[in-house]
Amino acid sequence: MQQRAPPLRLPLHLLLLLVPALSEVPDHYASPRVGSGTRTGLSNAPAQEYLDPTYPVPRPPPVAPTCVVPVLSYSFANTYGAPPAKAAYAPPAGCPAPWSLVVLSFSVAIAGDQYDRVAAVWLDGAELLRTTTAEPTPDGVRWTVRKDVTRYSALLRSPPGGVLSVMLENLVNDVYTGVYNVSVSLEFHGAPAYLVNDGGSSSAAGSADPGQKLPASYFQPADLILPISEGTGNSSGFWFRIQNSSDCRSKLVSIPSNTYRAVLEFFVSPHSNDEFWYSNPPDLYIRENDLTTGRGNAAYREVVVSVDGHFAGSFSPFPVIYTGGINPLFWQPVAALGAFDLPTYDVELTPFLGLLVDGKAHEIVLSVVDGIAEWLVDANLHLWLDPASPNVSAALSRYRTPRLSITRRYYTRQPLDGRFEIRAKRKSRFSGWVNSSFGNFTTDVETELEATSLVEFTDQGRNKTVRLQAEQDTEVVVRSSETRKEVGKVETEAKYPLWLEMVTEDGENGTYVMRANLTHSLIVETDAEAEGLFDGETKVVDEQAAVGWMLVRDHDVLDGSAATTQAYRYSDEAGKYERAIDTLDGAVLSDNVTESYRALGDGLAWLAAGAGPAEGGAMEL
């Protein structure tokens, strides 16, 4: 076994300067004594329930049978280097598939001192959730992540003998005493008869005019999900641990020869020297200033998949900040965007089915452009199967390897000042047809990824500015191969601007003060339409702004103050949901929820529920 760098948030032994140059930070910190209400002059009681506001998991349809399956309870104490915790899983007899909704609940309680950690849940080697933990206070904190996992129905249906694994590498000693108590359960909601009979999972026979309409099953959960993950997962989890840009990890898969649609869903999280990749300076700066940090290789990253040596898709990862990152006081009790449920990324592989449906094994390769140690990456291959034919025929009809165009402008001035700009762009267009019993359809996938990054050090390295603007637009268009008529289209625009400013000042006795300002957003707009099925837009705007200071020795926060505002907004054809939270020094000052719904087919009136506290305000139809 190769020796790998521990992905633990241990203090760096490399901070040689008394006042660290900001190239050595942002870093991860533990805030053991702050946030426990002992700060002078603060009257707000710190919250114990931590959260990451997102759209509430949809309500199950009325009269659906409901079953809750507690799958695993485990105390993650000194689990570093240990295999994942495992538990047997079988679908509930009382709520057989198909399900209208399945929800995974991941609940955590912890007291003491501890760093944030990364964790994942896998079912038979396919990932269901990637999450990171909050840092505890001595009085204890808890939180619950609820994720809609209906899209993994194919895995959840698996016959008895299933194994659910949870990895959370923790380290407990005299100083870091926190033990993560985790429980995982699954909540199944059956599909009432009126839903099963309506549209259903449709067979081709239903269509009088094949080739003119996509089947409803095209937009339902996949029929089969194959894990693109590391071996048996018993030693160090099912994720691939990617160490550098040439560290390509691959898996050989054979897919059923009647696959008519394929989507690869990625789970990624950067750690160690790449945890703050968006703020890493180039190696040139590190060398010129004789720094010892390994956090270099500049601030561009892109995750790439290839199929049998063909580049098949890529994305710019959303910069998730874990709860010990930048200033841990920012993330009490609201976690940074996505920290409790990391975003996943879908790459449409349908145009490449022509390479895959021959019943033979093919190589899927995952890699990280410019990545350094280490990235935890794996993926799920979602496959939709033709119910009426043992074979599809398919071909990749338009393919050219897309080029990454990247411009770097680096400027340095001794000591420790520098300005590093990167502009990157990649445009790709792939096209392929698949003839199944539903007809002959051509899928065009067009992607444009654009990122600009700025990392700047001024005031002899004590002032640092980071600006990242990543934008990825994807258009998937499905046409009848004969008539060229469009039968389905999904357009997605994702943007993630991040702005961060930090200043360090000398403190007394080996301490320093760091002030930071941050704004961070995740904006995703999706416009989807399918002939005879639906036509609609959804928009998510999730934003945070935080400002504060902290007094630090080594990696411990001794004192500080921070204010965070969080605004989450979701809207679609049926209504909208907004939640705005103001926090100060670990306490929630206000938490406003506004919801409005349109009753479809029932007067189409918007019923607005007034603003108010989280408990009030909501109105259901």
Give the footprint of ligand NAG on this chain (CB under 6 A): 75, 109-111, 140, 179, 181, 232, 234, 243-244, 246-247, 389-391, 393, 433, 435-437, 440, 442, 458-459, 463, 465, 481, 501, 503, 508-509, 515, 517, 547, 565, 580-582, 590, 592, 611
Six-digit token pair at 538? Answer: 């959804």
Six-digit token pair at 252? Answer: 């050989």
Minimum CB distance to ligand NAG smaller for 449 or for 518:
518
Six-digit token pair at 312? Answer: 């098949």
Smallest Cα–Cα separation from 341: which of 141, 130, 198? 130
Assign 355 to helix, strand or coil: helix
Rounded CA-CA distance 592/326 in Å is 26
Six-digit token pair at 550? Answer: 């902290």
Minimum CB distance to ligand NAG smaller for 256 or for 319:
256
Phi/psi of residue 138, each to 5°? -55, -30
Minimum CB distance to ligand NAG smaller for 48 or for 526:
48
Minimum CB distance to ligand NAG smaller for 344 or for 469:
469
Please report, for residues 350, 434, 507, the alpha-carbon distance to residue 447 in angstroms, rounded to integers and kept in the order given: 14, 20, 49
Minimum CB distance to ligand NAG smaller for 99 or for 430:
430
**Please, what is the minimum distance in Å from the beta carbon of residue 599 to ligand NAG?**
26
**Please, what is the minimum distance in Å from the beta carbon of residue 189 to ligand NAG?**
29
**Within 43-168, where are the H helices?**
153-156
Burial class (CB in 10 A: 0-12, 13-18, 19+), 315: buried
Name the one residue in this structure whose structure tokens are 């204890």.
140
**Please, what is the minimum distance in Å from the beta carbon of residue 459 to ligand NAG?**
5
Smallest Cα–Cα separation from 55: which of 528, 612, 523, 569? 569
Cβ-proximal residue to ligand NAG, closest one: 481
196 within 8 A of 133, measured Cβ to Cβ: no
514 within 8 A of 504, measured Cβ to Cβ: yes
Phi/psi of residue 193, each to 5°? -50, -40
**Please, what is the minimum distance in Å from the beta carbon of residue 603 to ligand NAG?**
29
Minimum CB distance to ligand NAG smaller for 139 or for 535:
139
Phi/psi of residue 406, each to 5°? -140, 130
**Please, what is the minimum distance in Å from the beta carbon of residue 265 to ligand NAG?**
23
Rounded CA-CA distance 401/307 in Å is 12
Minimum CB distance to ligand NAG smaller for 536 or for 613:
613
Minimum CB distance to ligand NAG smaller for 57 or for 503:
503
**Please, what is the minimum distance in Å from the beta carbon of residue 234 to ligand NAG?**
4
Please report, for residues 69, 289, 543, 544, the alpha-carbon distance to residue 118 in angstroms, rounded to integers and kept in the order given: 24, 32, 22, 21
Minimum CB distance to ligand NAG smaller for 177 or for 538:
177
**Please, what is the minimum distance in Å from the beta carbon of residue 311 to ligand NAG?**
20
Rounded CA-CA distance 96/81 in Å is 37
Minimum CB distance to ligand NAG smaller for 209 or for 602:
209
Minimum CB distance to ligand NAG smaller for 197 or for 246:
246
Q: Which residues contact 368 (CB under 8 A, 6 or more apart)?
A: 242, 245, 247, 268, 301, 302, 303, 304, 375, 377
Q: Which residues contact 43 (CB under 8 A, 6 or more apart)?
A: none
Minimum CB distance to ligand NAG smaller for 60 or for 281:
281
Name the one residue in this structure whose structure tokens are 């300002």.
517
Rounded CA-CA distance 411/457 in Å is 10
**Please, what is the minimum distance in Å from the beta carbon of residue 103 to ligand NAG?**
22
**Please, what is the minimum distance in Å from the beta carbon of residue 3 to ligand NAG?**
10
**Please, what is the minimum distance in Å from the beta carbon of residue 261 to ligand NAG?**
15
**Please, what is the minimum distance in Å from the beta carbon of residue 321 to ligand NAG?**
17
Please report, for residues 134, 608, 609, 610, the alpha-carbon distance to residue 617 in angstroms, rounded to integers and kept in the order given: 28, 9, 5, 6
**Please, what is the minimum distance in Å from the beta carbon of residue 315 to ligand NAG?**
22
Assign 196 to helix, strand or coil: helix
